[in-house]
Amino acid sequence: MCYPHHQIRMLRGELVGLVPLQSTDELALYRWFNDPRVRRRAGRQTWKACYSLEQIQDLIKERSAQPSRIDLVVFDPIKESPLGMVELTHLHPMRDSAEIVLVWGETDDEEKELETLALTAAFAFNSQGLHRIWTRVPSVDQFLISIFQEMGFKLEGVLREDHFIGGTWRDSVLLSLLSAEARPC
């Protein structure tokens, strides 16, 4: 997959770029959605155990058609390879709040993930006019929690035993960032 620099709709940082999800991302999503590590980390029982390539194609089409969400693919601008996805969901004209989900498909890279969140937050607040973004992260994923907190997200609470994984119920934490708290990107 190639992410040309002249792409019109692109959020560009120093380490990563963000482009809207498109059909040409199907192989990257196919790999990530079938990776047990990525699935477990998401802590979402709505994820299936496996996806066929055709199901991934359907998923991309469905997501692209939904006005209540924006899916962005994170890519490495030097290698021009995809790294993960960031999703803004629960978008609604009457609601100035949205959920942000970071799905990192490749090996963790703190700086790149931080910049991804910073770019997405700037996009959410400055372009989409949101007032608040929030996320839910499995409590066990201290790495991801620390990245959100480093970005300025505040801990709002603990969702007790909200997902079942590894044979037991586990907690998630709820984090949010208000537009006034966001650092300039």
Partner 1 sequence: MLMGEKVDLGAAERAYIPYFVKWINDPEVTQWLKVEPPLSEAMEHDWVDWIRREGRMVFTILTKDGRPIGNAGIEEVSWKYRRAAIGIMIGEKDCWGKGYGSDAISTILRYCFEELGLRRVELITDSDNHRAQKAYMKCGFQVEGVMRQYRTKNGRTVDELMMSILSTDWFAKHPPKGPGE
Site residues for partner 1 per CB under 8 A: 34-36, 45, 48-55, 58, 139-140, 164-168, 170
Name the minimum Å distance from CB 53 to partner 1. Answer: 6
Q: Which is nearer to partner 1, 12 or 48 (CB)?
A: 48
Name the minimum Å distance from CB 114 to partner 1. Answer: 23
Name the minimum Å distance from CB 52 to partner 1. Answer: 4
Q: Which is nearer to partner 1, 27 or 53 (CB)?
A: 53
Spatial strand order of the sheet with 168-178 comes to 11-12, 17-20, 70-76, 81-89, 97-104, 132-138, 168-178, 154-165
Centroid of chain to Cα 9 = 17
- Let me know how long the chain is: 185
Give the amino acid at 158. Answer: V
Cβ atoms 58, 48 nearer than 8 A: no
Q: Which is nearer to partner 1, 36 or 184 (CB)?
A: 36
Name the minimum Å distance from CB 48 to partner 1. Answer: 7
- Helix 53-65 × helix 26-33 angle, to 10°: 110
Q: Which is nearer to partner 1, 23 or 45 (CB)?
A: 45
